[in-house]
Structure formats: C-alpha cells, structure tokens
Amino acid sequence: MPAVSTGIALVTGANGYVAVWAIKQLLEQGYSVRGTLRCMSKADHLRTIFHDFVNRLEFVVVEDFTKDDAFDEAVRGVDVIHHIASPFHLKAEEPSEIIAPAVSGTVSVLKSAQKYGDNLKRVVIVSSTAAVFELTGEPKTYNEGNWNDRAIYEVAVKGKDADQFSKYCASKTIAERAAWAFYVNNKQSFSWDMVVINPPYVFGPILHEVKSISDLNTSLEHWYHFVLSGHADAETVVNDGYISSSSILLKSLLTSVPNRNCWIDVRDLANALVLATHTGDAGNQRIIVSAGPFKWRGLG
C-alpha cells in the first residue's frame, strides 16, 4: 500500500493522552485532522492548544463508540484512521466491563471503514504489549508473534476474581485479535490496509486537559502514585485492588524483570503512529515500540 503522506487523518478519542500528541505531530507534518469526542465541549482545550492549526482541525461527536455505526460519519472522506480510543483502567469488577468496549469499539471503527472508507488507505490501531507478553514468572524474550493467551485463560477461569491487570491484558489481546480477524476475513471488500502498534507503559509530558489527578490517564496515574505521592512500591496498587498480594505481578512491579515493565515516551509513540501512516512497508504489520525496561523505584 502506498504511503499516506498527506490528507485527512481521523483520530479517535481525540482528547486522550496519546491522541493529543498524535494530533500534534500529524498537524505539524501537514495533515488535516478530524478528532472524535464524546461531547463537543472537550474540543475547547484542543482548539486552544492547536490554535495555529484551526483551519486543519475539526471534531465530530461519537457518544458511544461501541455501536456498529458509531463511526459511519466520522470516517467519510478520511485518508487514514488512528484508532486510539480504548478503555484503560484497573477498576473493572466483571471482565466484560473492560473487554466488551475494547472489542466492540475496535470492530466498530473497522465496520465503518469497510462501509464508508472510500478514500481510506490505512488504519493504524493502538494495541498494547499487554496483548503480547505473559506473566510467566520467568524471563522471556517476546516478539510480534507472541500473544497473551495466559491472561485470557486466567480471566476465563477466575472471572471477576482475576487480577485487574489480567482483565486489562485480556481486553487488549481479545480486541486486537478481533481486529485482525475482521481485517483478514473482509479485506477483499476494501482497498485499505492495517497496522497495529503495540506500546508498553506510556510516560512523558501532558498535553491533554488535566484539572486533577483523576484526569490523568492510567499509566501516568501509576507514575504519580509510585513517584510523586511517595508510594514507591507496589502497596498502592495492591491496596487499590488492582492485583492480589499473591500475584506474580507484585514481584514484577517490585523488581521490574525486563520482559514485563517496559516503557515508551508518549512523543515517541506519537511519532511511531505517524511513521506507521506514511511508511508503505508498515502495512499488514504488528509492531512493538518500546524504549526498554524500567524500574518503578528508578523513576524518581
């Protein structure tokens, strides 16, 4: 598929931590951007910080991205889609609370692209290394051929008693598999291709609107608790009910075995999304992007 170096880029979840940085880089490289928001009031902050690009920036409201037709109007006329909107939290009681919207939101974008993506050349989906690595208790080297089947198994066996992190990992794994299945099963009916980017923990400066700690995205909220609030250990996560004290994730959080806790700067992730847009050979690829391992205790 030819590179997409100009045109209109649709960015879902436009007011999110990663999405705002993606919008910034897309605008600076000459693309026009159409962002989806749950309500139009969320656009005020974005119009302020991108005031130099108002003639190439527009927004559409998608109140419920899990509906099959949610993105029908949003995809019309765009050249590339960056699907970034997806739930990332560690507060689901039932696994379905995070798995269902992750899957249906991703498939919804692809269904709309299939129906109305007449100008579309590429879909770039942000997944996660949570869909790649498994918490096995032993160091292991992972690549784009690996899938986190262990998380799916744990959630299937334990249900709501599974660790919150396993619920999240299962959601990313199932959602990405659903995306690839849709693409493979339907690619004869459209001309665009697909790229999936798999980042680990995302840290770095904030551009999105943050009025309180509760407005932080989950990765930065973890960083805040571990570094700024003085809880530089796993106790905050355990006490908040994210994982059980017996989980092997606890050992991972404390020791940061390299194959578990890795990170990427949000600006580098945004750059990776843009590179995935205008690099022809990226088509049909699953790509891990990472700056390497880190230790929570070393972030201060």
Q: Which fold has domain 8-205+262-293?
A: Rossmann fold (3.40.50)
Give the pLDDT mean for 131-137. 85
Q: Which residue has the higher pLDDT, 259 or 143?
A: 143
Q: Which of 38-42, 64-68, 199-203, 260-264 has the lowest mean pLDDT?
A: 260-264
Provide the pLDDT for residue 93: 86
Q: Which of 120-124, 189-193, 216-220, 250-254 has the lowest mean pLDDT?
A: 250-254
pLDDT for residue 254 is more than 50: no
Domain borders along the chain are: 8-205+262-293
Q: Which residue has the higher pLDDT, 264 or 248?
A: 264
Q: Which residue has the higher pLDDT, 212 or 151?
A: 151
Looking only at the bridges linking them, the beta strands covering 262-265 and 292-293 are antiparallel
Give the pLDDT mean for 219-235. 63
pLDDT band at 259 (very low <50, low <70, confident <90, very high): very low
The pLDDT tens digits for 94-113 are 999 999 999 999 999 999 99
Cα separation of 115 and 127, whole Å?
Answer: 23
Provide the pLDDT for residue 12: 97
Provide the pLDDT for residue 260: 58
Give the pLDDT mean for 266-285. 97
Sign of the alpha-carbon torsion through 188, 190, 191, 195: negative
Question: pTM of the full predicted structure?
Answer: 0.88
The pLDDT tens digits for 138-197 are 778 899 999 999 999 999 999 999 988 899 999 999 999 999 999 999 999 999 999 999
Give the bridge partners for 81, in sequence order. 10, 123
Provide the pLDDT for residue 89: 64
Q: Which residue has the higher pLDDT, 65 or 116?
A: 116
Contacts of 198 (CB under 8 A, 6+ apart): 127, 128, 129, 131, 132, 144, 176, 286, 287, 288, 289
Q: Which residue has the higher pLDDT, 38 or 239?
A: 38
Looking up tokens 């879909």 gives: 123
Provide the pLDDT for residue 161: 94
pLDDT for residue 232 is more than 60: no
pLDDT band at 55 (very low <50, low <70, confident <90, very high): very high
Which is nearest to 243 in space by CA: 299, 294, 167, 131?
167
Give the pLDDT mean for 39-43. 95
